[in-house]
């Protein structure tokens, strides 16, 4: 192997069917702290009180106090982050615990970053290079999707624009994966979370920033998704299948961490924020085939991707559609109520340098 590669990922990963029950012990042993601000993705759990009780019981029996914030919207705004910062300060918490999907993950990270920069989340965008040591962050994912729990990236929206930001200070101290949790996640959200893992793996493989380490993670993630995506619908209560897909999400998250976000990530979250109640994975499913077709000619690893998908290079976009259809996840943007007239509004929220590429992808996705 030639070249120079540097890899840094300090997040401790625990993967266990006892993960939620033992969470408090893991925090005491590996993280420390006395009082946790627990951020709940209530929309994902949809009233599944048993899981929340199990998490809080685990904290309590380990001697940890907690304050619960369970009012996270699907797509948190700067205002939502400011509300959480206010609760954090008034509670005198010394630990942030995100329990749920990407909104719980990014909110925990953004609060930690904002506190490090003096308390204003707007400073994260321009001052991310000055983020120092942060409040410890612990993440317990509820679905097999976004992968940010093992990444130094966070994402936030400001004035209609989506910003992906990286800092070595933004890696969570601990990520605990418990496949039992995903059994309680609504099946439609579980499927869309797999779409997000698929997008992370594909993005890493075709990225200009790809390297042998990212390829290793992305290939393993994609092969695991391909072996289990249909089984998720056929055997939704099979904890083995859920565990495999949760593992794939972690691998894809590590690949994403090494290569960074692509235009499909920016577009999906931009549209999700514009429409408020749209799950980013649903938008990703609409964009993925057109995006891969557009980037494929200049993709770094298109031959490798073709081998993993077991098709010819020119058949890759069609195979991506087939995978999405097999998960009953494929839609056009028009099916989500987004027509050609809306493309201009989306483009206005993007950097000028990416608008032409975005326009081509969006027009092909409608």
- What's the pLDDT score for residue 45? 60
- What's the pLDDT score for residue 145? 79
List Cβ neighbours of 78 (8 Å cut-off, separation of 6 or more): 121, 122, 156, 157, 158
| Pair type for strands 137-141 and 95-100 | parallel
Determine the Cα–Cα distance for residues 352 and 130; give it in Å rounded to an integer.
26
Determine the Cα–Cα distance for residues 89 and 179; give it in Å rounded to an integer.
33
Walk me through the domains of the chain, giving residue ranges and CATH numbers.
Answer: 12-180 (3.40.50.1970), 186-365 (1.20.1090.10)
Our measurement of the distance from residue 87's CA atom to the centroid of its chain's CA atoms, rounded to an integer in Å, reads 24
Q: Which has the higher per-residue pLDDT, 89 or 75?
A: 89
pLDDT tens-digit profile of 235-283? 999 999 999 999 999 999 999 999 999 999 999 999 999 988 789 999 9
Helix (H) or strand (E) holding 229: helix 212-234
- What's the full length of the chain, in residues? 366
List Cβ neighbours of 297 (8 Å cut-off, separation of 6 or more): none
pLDDT band of 8, cuts 50, 70, 90? confident
- Other beta carbons within 10 angstroms of residue 357's beta carbon come to 15
Long-range Cβ contact pairs of 299-306 (< 8 A, separation 24 or more):
299/205, 299/206, 300/205, 300/206, 300/207, 300/208, 300/210, 301/205, 301/206, 301/210, 301/215, 302/206, 304/205, 304/215, 304/219, 305/202, 305/205, 305/206
Q: Return the percentage of the chain with pLDDT > 70, whole number.
A: 97
DSSP string, 161-179: EEEEEE-GGGS-SEEEE-H
CA dihedral 170, 171, 176, 180 (to 10 degrees): 70
pLDDT tens-digit profile of 280-302? 999 999 999 999 999 999 998 99
- Residue carrying structure tokens 């991310």: 128
pLDDT tens-digit profile of 89-147? 999 999 999 998 888 999 999 999 999 998 888 888 888 888 888 999 999 999 887 89
List Cβ neighbours of 110 (8 Å cut-off, separation of 6 or more): 76, 81, 121, 124, 154, 156
- Residue 199, Cβ density class (10 Å: 0-12 exposed, 13-18 middle, ≥19 buried): buried
Judge contact between 225 and 191, C-beta under 8 A. Answer: no
- Other beta carbons within 10 angstroms of residue 67's beta carbon come to 14
pLDDT tens-digit profile of 177-204? 999 999 988 899 899 999 999 999 999 9
Range with the poorest average pLDDT among 35-39, 53-57, 277-281:
277-281
Taking CA atoms, 40 is separated from 89, 108, 162, 188, 252, in Å, by 18, 10, 22, 19, 23
Asked if residue 318 has pLDDT above 60, the reply is yes
- What's the pLDDT score for residue 16? 95
Return the HEC string of 65-89.
EEEEECCCCCCCCHHHHHHHHHHHH
Judge contact between 363 and 343, C-beta under 8 A. Answer: yes
- pTM of full prediction above 0.85: yes
């Amino acid at each position: 192997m030639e070249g120079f590669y540097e890899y840094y990922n300090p997040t401790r990963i625990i993967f266990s069917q006892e993960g939620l029950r033992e969470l408090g012990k893991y925090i005491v042993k590996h993280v420390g702290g006395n009082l946790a601000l627990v951020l709940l993705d209530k929309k994902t759990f949809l009233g599944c009180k048993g899981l929340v009780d199990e998490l809080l019981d685990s904290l309590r029996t380990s001697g940890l106090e907690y304050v619960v914030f369970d009012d996270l919207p699907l797509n948190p705004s700067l205002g939502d982050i400011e509300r959480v910062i206010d609760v954090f300060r008034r509670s005198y918490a010394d630990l942030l615990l995100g329990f749920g999907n990407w909104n719980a993950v990014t909110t925990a990270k953004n609060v930690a970053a904002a506190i490090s920069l003096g308390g204003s989340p707007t400073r994260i965008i321009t001052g991310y290079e000055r983020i120092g040591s942060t409040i410890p962050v612990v993440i317990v994912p509820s679905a097999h999707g976004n992968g940010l729990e093992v990444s130094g990236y966070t994402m936030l929206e400001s004035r209609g624009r989506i910003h992906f930001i990286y800092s070595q200070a933004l890696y969570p101290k601990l990520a605990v994966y418990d496949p039992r949790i995903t059994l309680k996640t609504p099946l439609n959200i579980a499927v869309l979370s797999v779409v997000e893992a698929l997008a992370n793996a594909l993005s890493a493989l075709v990225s200009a920033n790809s390297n042998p380490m990212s390829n290793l993670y992305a290939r393993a993630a994609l092969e695991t998704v391909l072996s289990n995506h249909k089984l998720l619908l056929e055997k939704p209560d099979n904890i083995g299948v859920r565990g495999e897909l949760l593992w794939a999400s972690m691998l894809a998250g590590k690949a994403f961490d090494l290569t960074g976000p692509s235009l499909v990530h920016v577009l999906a979250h931009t549209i999700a924020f514009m429409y408020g109640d749209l799950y980013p994975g649903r938008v990703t499913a609409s964009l993925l085939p057109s995006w891969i077709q557009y980037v494929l000619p200049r993709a770094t690893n298109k031959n490798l991707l073709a081998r993993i998908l077991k098709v010819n290079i020119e058949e890759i976009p069609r195979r991506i559609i087939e995978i999405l259809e097999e998960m009953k996840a494929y839609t056009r943007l028009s099916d989500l109520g987004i027509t050609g007239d809306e493309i201009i509004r989306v483009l206005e929220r993007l950097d000028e340098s990416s608008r032409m590429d975005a326009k081509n992808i969006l027009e092909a996705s409608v």
